[in-house]
Amino acid sequence: MSGLLADRVVLVVGGTSGVGAAVARVALREGATVAVAGRRRDHGEKVAADLGAMMFVPCDVADVEACRAVVATVVAAFGRIDGLVTAAGLTDRGSLLDTTPELFDAQIAVNLRGPFFLMQAAVADMVRRGEPGAIVNVGSEASRGGAPVLAPYAAAKGGLATLTRNAAHAHRFDRIRINQLDIGWTATEGEDATQRRFHGAGDDWRTRAGADLPAGRLAAPEDAAEMVLLLLSDRSGVVTGSVIDWDQQVPGAHD
């Protein structure tokens, strides 16, 4: 441990699985006071206890009032919020032709509207106290276009990238750094469920998928978590408003 987040209060929304849980783990390792949020209380409380997190707060990011409440709960418990990670996501499939209004609205609610109001609440606390802060949104390489079956997801994540830049610009003189990590194909619990539900994948899908990638494997949540840690910490310097491609494929390049 190098204490990169010592004496900081960090809220990880979507912190009970996948990249979010990995972020919570490294934030704790680096000395932060960590609160994790997720939809399922029973699962979340167990994960929080296993991680050693100081608090679990139930939060459905599709619910605006829940987004406001989770930040308020953290501020009430610890006096402030110094860092926010929005890692919750919905990846249900839908193309341009078969996406229903209900699926579209759900994608926007979880992947765009929720982060908006989480950031709103966190930034309000930082501005009220006149203190700096750091926010990292977990985005997706699909924000650049994505596969045909990711139409509403890509639209929402593309909106998140623009929101990240807008919020970072608006609050740069408040010393609130807001960045986004657009991750590529990563072997999370949620991705496993998605592959099985929508694509009929078997137990060997990770191995088969990784064989066609440059590293010979899918990315791991722990890989992404280390980059999120960097963006939360002072080691990332003054950077703000950056949307970082984090993948083993190079966007725009081709053979």
Q: Which residues are catalytic?
A: 153
Alpha-carbon distance of 83 to 4, in angstroms, equals 12
Distance CA 253, CA 181 (A): 19
Crossing angle of helices 18-29 and 189-199, in 10° steps, is 170
Q: How far is CA 29 from CA 25, 110, 124, 137, in A?
A: 6, 28, 27, 20
Q: Kindly give the residue spans of alpha helices, DSSP state H, lying in 30-80.
A: 41-51, 64-78
Rounded Cα distance between 122 and 238, Å, is 19
* Euclidean distance between CA atoms 89 and 20, whole angstroms: 10
